[in-house]
Amino acid sequence: MVPDNKHLEITLETQVESVNLAEEMCLRVAEAAGFGEDDCYRIGMSVREGVINAFHYGNQERPEKKIHLAVDITPEKLIIHVLDEGQGFRLADVPDPLAEENLLSTSGRGIFLMRAFMDEFDVVPGRTGGAEIVMSKKLPPPGGGSTNGQGGQDASPHQGA
């Protein structure tokens, strides 16, 4: 049997409005895939944070650069890719927002939230030289309806920053 994979991608302008657009698009995909309200919230928030990261840190808010968003649905999970056209970064270099000295920082929580809200999260070098965020969430069980509970995790962060 051929796996029922679906792929959707969109190129976004480097502007604030792209954050809402990306969130709305991915929420529709997540709802159609059967995710419940709580998981949709987590997925939507993670997409927002990924695009904010690309908009602000990756593309440095430069309008000539683009943000590339892709969504894949495999039989097992929803996978989201957010690619910027910046210089790239290493996860190990991202400060821990839970460290005492960073608690009152006004930024730097986006990566933390994506890690907390998704089942898998990574940052890899992008094909355009920027950073590519890759994150996924397991699909809810067929016929089992939504995973409005903890969605396979307890909203506490995975290890790391």
Partner 1 sequence: MSLRATHRDAGQVTVVDLSGRIVLGDGSALLRKTIRGLLEDQRKNILLNLADVDYIDSSGIGELVSAFTAVKNQSGDMKLLHLTKKVRDLLQITKLYTVFDVFTDESTALRSFS
Residues that bind partner 1 (CB under 8 A): 16-17, 19-20, 41, 45, 48-49, 52, 97-98, 103-107, 109-110, 112-113, 116, 155-157
Give least dist CB 13 to partner 1, A: 14
Strands 77-83 and 66-73: antiparallel
Q: Is 105 helix (H, G, I), strand (E, B) or coil?
A: coil
Q: Under a CB-based contact definition with an 8 Å cutoff, are residues 151 and 96 in contact?
A: no
Residue type, 101: E
Give least dist CB 158 to partner 1, A: 11
Give least dist CB 74 to partner 1, A: 27
C-beta of 19 vs 134, nearer to partner 1: 19
How many residues are listed for the chain in this entry? 161
Give least dist CB 140 to partner 1, A: 20
Sole residue written with tokens 């990574």: 122
Give least dist CB 142 to partner 1, A: 27
C-beta of 77 vs 109, nearer to partner 1: 109
17 CB-near residues (< 8 Å, 6+ apart): none
CA distances from 144 to 2, 37, 38, 47, 139 (A): 23, 14, 15, 25, 10
C-beta of 39 vs 73, nearer to partner 1: 39
C-beta of 73 vs 121, nearer to partner 1: 121
C-beta of 8 vs 98, nearer to partner 1: 98
Q: Under a CB-based contact definition with an 8 Å cutoff, are residues 97 and 109 in contact?
A: yes
